Structure formats: structure tokens, C-alpha cells
Chain A
Amino acid sequence: MIKKIFIKSVICAGIISSALALTGCGDSKDDMSLVAAKSDSPDIAFLYIGTVGDEGWTYEHNRGRLYLEEKLGKKVDFVENVPENADAERIISQLAQDHDIIFATSFGHMDYILNSSKRFPKVKFLHAAGYKSSTNMGNYFGKNWEASYLTGIAAGSVSKTNKIGYLASFPIPQLVYNINAFTLGARSVNEDIEVNVIWNNSWYDPANERSAAISMADEGMDVLVSYPDSPATIKVAQERGIWGVGNSTSMAHYAPDAYITNPVWNWGVYYEKVVEEIKAGTWEGGSYLGGLKDGMVDLAEFGKNVPEPVKALVNKEKKRIISGEFNIFSGPIKDRDGLERVGSGEKISDEDVLTMNWFVEGVKGSLSN
């Protein structure tokens, strides 16, 4: 009996000590990564919400990762389909043990990244589209509203019926400021333009998007914009012989005759820059907001049917934005109830853009929040 207990306790002790040894290993490995972080070739990993073939958000981040691989000349790891729940934190912790820099590319990963950044102080964390940061966690995003404004100019120039349909995902600031920027752009060339917003409350549902697009085309709208990045909407535009605008990535091949252009992401330039900063030891966390100027946000190539004068006008405005001569949210701007939100000579700060919750004059559709 005593012997039995003795054997049991020996086994228990064995298990516990080996477990301790294992965690000890983990710790020392962590210290190793501290050393590695200062070396010239950091180990980097990316977390994706979707798959690299989604032709949209994750596809674009993956393009950035591939660019980084090319520039660094070494493999950059990635994990696909990372859910926005506690599982993310488990995955991040695993990656943090043998990587020096971790990029998380979805809004919903924010709190898990923040927690991990406290647990792994030697690792640098970067998070897209969020707003929280710490000493070793930074966030980054781009002013895609600048490209939305330019897209609006092109759309407003080609519309004959003066009615544009905008299929939007969720009533959140990201959608609101893009719709506003697009509308300001369209009305800068044609004051009669009205932008009709339809919410479909989904990031991805092609069948539903197609129904929405058909409804908009039936109402005589001759430019269809889709924020959800499936090609369902611009395909309807192609079928009906009207104009189409996509999102995130160039979509000309889906609708060669109908395609105008749309904002695209170019994360690679930022990824290279931030990795260089971390290597040089000059990176300090905080927020980074890119735009047309540094190339993080850009405009896709124009569709083949967009008239030359329109292209020229858009390119001219693009130069003005890049040079800093023109801010797209400079007053006077009225909201759609006629209230002047931005006075003449004023402009909206980037922080206020990122929390925008009102529509400019010319937007039709519900905004209940």
C-alpha cells in the first residue's frame, strides 16, 4: 500500500517537474527571441481572419506579406482563418514564442493582441484597423477615404441618371466615412448626384449582394458601388450595361466593360517600413495612419471604358491630395439635414473621421445607430 502511494507520488512529481521544465524551456526560448529581435533578421508572422484566396481583405494583406518576404529575403509565416475569439489568443501565444514581430490583420483580434503584448513584452505586435496600443503594440490603418473620394469623382463624372447605388456592409464609421468621401467626390463634379445607400449587414453573401444590386439597377441607378468585396455587384453592372465600382482589390476582370475603379490597399510599403524601423530600434509603438501619400492606399487601374478626361481629372485631384494641398474633408460640409458640420476653412481631423456617424448632403438611406 505504502509502496503504491510512493510510486504514485514519484510519478506525479515526475510529471510536475517535467511540466515545469517545459514551461522553463518556453521562458528561455522567450529570452532567445529577445536576442533574435535585435538581430538583423527578425522572425515575422501574420494572422489572417480569412484565407489568402479571398480576393479581398486577406488577399491584400497576403500580397503585403509576399512583398515583405521578397524585400527581406526570408520566409514570413502566416496563419489563416484565425477566429475573432479566445482561440486567437492561443494562436498568438504560440506564435509569440518563436517570432519577433506579429501582425494581426482583423479588427476583432485587437483585445487578444493587447493581452498577448503584455505577456510577451519582447515581441512587437502590430494590429490593423483597431485603436488600442501599448508600448510593444502598435496599430495601423489607411485613409482609404482619400481613394473613395477619387472614385466618387470618376463615378459622378460618368453617371447619366445622377443616381448612384452604394451597397454597404454594416453601419459603422468605416462605411460612413467612405460613403461620405465618395459622395463628396461625386458631388464635386456634379451637384445633382444622389448616393443611395443599401445596407445588407454582411461582409460576404454574394447571393444577397446580387439581389441588392438588381434592386438598385431596377431603380435607374447607373453606377453600382459595392463595399463587400465579392464581385457579385459589379457583375450585375456588367450585365445591365451600367457602371460598377468594387473594393479592396482591382476587379476589372470581372466586369471589363462596366468597371470604373476603386480604392485598393497596398500594405507592403508599410510592412517594409515598420520592419525596418523595428530593426533599427527606432519604432515606438502608437498609431500609424497611411494614405495616398505613402502609397498604403491607392486607386486601382481604370476600367477600359472610363473616358480620358475623367482619368485626367482624377489624377489631378490625386496629386493635390498627395501634395497636401487639398484635404477631402475640408469645409464647408453640410450634413444631410442641412446642418453645417464643418465651417469654411476648417477641416475634419483624422480622429474625427475615424468615428464619423453622420451622412453628408446627397446621401440617401437609413443610418440608425
Chain B
Amino acid sequence: MEIFSMDIMQLLIIASISAATPLLLATLGGILSERAGIINLGIEGMMLIGAVCAYIVSIYTDSEWLAIIFSLLGGSALGALLAFLCITLRSNQIVAGLGITLFATGLSSYLGKSFGGSQPQTQIPNLDIPWLDNIPFFGEIFSHLNWMVWISFFIAIVLYVAIFKTRWGLHLRALGDGPAAADNAGVNVYRYQYLMTIIGAALCGLAGATLILVYTPSWNDGLTSGRGWIAVALVIFSRWHPINAIFCAILFGLFETLGFKVQLYYADIPPYFLKMMPYLTTIVVLMWVGWRNKNKPNGQPISLGKTYIREQRG
């Protein structure tokens, strides 16, 4: 890898993209369930469970792809729990989501602890695309990224097409905005909501698996260090749009990376200030978006967080 021949901008972009992958996957998961009207505050917990599943399975099987499958399964199990609580039992979505995160934090620590110390030998490799090297600047950036980066981009594009270009997506959007209308039109509201919550949770599990399989091959309690909560903000920041989510996640990755770059070049800027930047950006962007669209809908699914009860007047 001719890493030293690249210029600073290219390296910065590569580093931002790498830092963005788990955020992007978790954000996409959040977008899916929120599009169906279910708020997912269990993202952090689902990431932790996905991570611990990937960790344990890769120790046992030495197969990174099996680890991915089990992280998807682990995430979706929690998604099914969230769906059962919010849709079937009609409980408060905020409380259910927070409960799942708290529960999953404990469960993942418990599961991970018994394996503490062992480390999986498998890691997801980079995908080398030699012919891209011939394209200056952008080609060089994209020629040596990790497989997970490509998988996350691919999922974002698939979701974009599915949500905005298919009949299925039309149903999904209708259901997020007005479940009663969708129901009248013949959409099976509960089935859709269940499905979207579970698939969304599976993506959060995959986000957690990325941390183990690409970032650090060891388990420790609270491995995600709050990334699930950043994803919750990114869902809003991206205005529930998968393609926006790519750029929002990379922007956050950029701030994380920039924080370190700036420390190397300008020692006078306190690192605490840099650590604050991504969150400050979120607030500023939310204010800007809110101000610009103050007389327009903000992109949030209209019935988000409201339990749909069949044949009951809204």
C-alpha cells in the first residue's frame, strides 16, 4: 500500500470514511424503524449485542462472515423485542428503547465477560481495487477501503432505492406519516412495523460487529462508547434519508479525525474544544435546518412515536 505517496486531503478523507462506517450502519438502522413510525432508542444496546455476538462467534468459528450473520441475528432479536413492546403491547417507545439499551448493556457485559481475554483471529480485510489506483485523487481514495465500508455504502443505496423508488417504500413512507391511511389502503401496518424494526435493529447489530471485526479484536464492557447515541442524532441530522446519512456520518468521522490532526498541527487548541465540535455541529445544523424549513415539514415521519391502534380515532 503506497500510503505515504498520498496527500493530506486524501488521507483525511480515507480516515473520515473509516471512522464513519459503524455510525452509518447504525444510522441506517434507525432510519428504517423511524420511517415505519417506531422510535429506536435501543441503538446503543443493539450495537453492543451485535458486537458481543460477533466477538463470541468469531472466537468459536474463526469465520468473519459467520460472525456478521450472528451479529445480524443478535441485533434482530432485540429488534423483535422492541417491536413486541411498542407494537403489540403498545408501550411507550422512548421507555422501551431506553430499557432495551440498559438491558443490552448488562447482557453484553455478561456474555462478553466469560470470554474476556481471548481474541478472535479473524478480521475483515480491506478490499483492494487495483484499477482504481489509476484514477487520480478519488480513485486512490477508494482503492483500499475496508469491505465493511463498501457494504455500508451498498446498504445505504439499496435503502434509498427501496424507500423512494419502489411501491414497497411508498407503503413504508405512508405508514410512517399516517398509519390509518396506509391501513385503509390495504397495507398491513403491524407486519410492516415489525419487519422494519427488526431489519433496522439487525443493521445496528452489524454496526457493532464492525467495531470488533475491523477496529479492535477484543471485548470490553461498553465497547461502543456512546456511538449508538450519536447515531440517534444522525437519524435526525440526515432527515431520515439514507443518502444524506452517508454524508452526515462521514462529516462526523471527519470531525473525529480532524480533532487529532489539529492536535498535531496546532498544539494551542485545547483537545476538549475539538471533542466538543461534532456535537456543536449537530446543534448548529439542526438549528439551520429548522430555521430554513420553519414553515415546511422537517422530514420527520408525522406519526413517529405514536402508537397506532386499529380502528381507533386519531
Contacts and interface: CB of A to CB of B under 8 A. Distances in A.
A201 B22 CA distance: 21
Given A206-B211, A235-B216, A215 B116 contact: no
Interface in B249-279: 253, 256-257, 260-261, 263-264, 267-272, 275
Interface in A205-235: 205-212, 214-220, 230-232, 235
B215 interface: yes
A326 interface: no
Contacts of A215: 15, 257, 260-261, 264
B63 interface: no
Contacts of B19: 207, 210-211
A201 B109 CA distance: 23
A36 to B, nearest CB: 31
Of B115, B256, B264, most A-chain CB atoms within 10 Å: B264
A288 interface: no
B117 interface: yes
A92 interface: no
Interface in A262-307: none
A50 B217 CA distance: 19
Given A208-B256, A214-B15, A366-B269, A55 B218 contact: yes
B3 A210 contact: no
Interface of B: 1, 3-4, 8, 11-12, 14-15, 18-19, 22, 109, 112-113, 115-117, 119, 211, 215-225, 227, 253, 256-257, 260-261, 263-264, 267-272, 275
A190 interface: no
Contacts of B1: 240
Interface in A109-144: none
A230 B257 contact: no
A53 B115 contact: yes
A314 interface: no
Contact of A198 (B119, B215, B216, B264): B264
18 contacts: A51-B221, A52-B113, A53-B115, A198-B260, A199-B271, A202-B225, A206-B223, A207-B22, A210-B18, A210-B216, A211-B15, A211-B18, A214-B257, A218-B15, A219-B264, A220-B4, A231-B217, A235-B215
B223 to A, nearest CB: 7
A254 interface: yes
Contacts of B272: 201
Contact of B267 (A52, A207, A210, A366): A366
A365 B217 CA distance: 29
Nearest to A161: B4
Contact of B116 (A51, A217, A365): A51
B116 A52 contact: yes
A340 interface: no
Given A53-B115, A211-B19, A211-B256, 16 more contacts: A51-B113, A52-B116, A197-B263, A198-B264, A200-B260, A204-B225, A205-B225, A206-B211, A206-B225, A207-B19, A209-B216, A216-B264, A218-B12, A231-B216, A232-B215, A366-B268
A242 to B, nearest CB: 10
Nearest to B227: A207
Nearest to A212: B260
A234 to B, nearest CB: 10
A59 to B, nearest CB: 7
A51 B52 CA distance: 15
Of B1, B217, B218, B227, most A-chain CB atoms within 10 Å: B218
Contacts of A209: 216
A271 B10 CA distance: 51
B215 A210 contact: yes
B271 A231 contact: no
Contacts of B4: 220
A106 interface: no
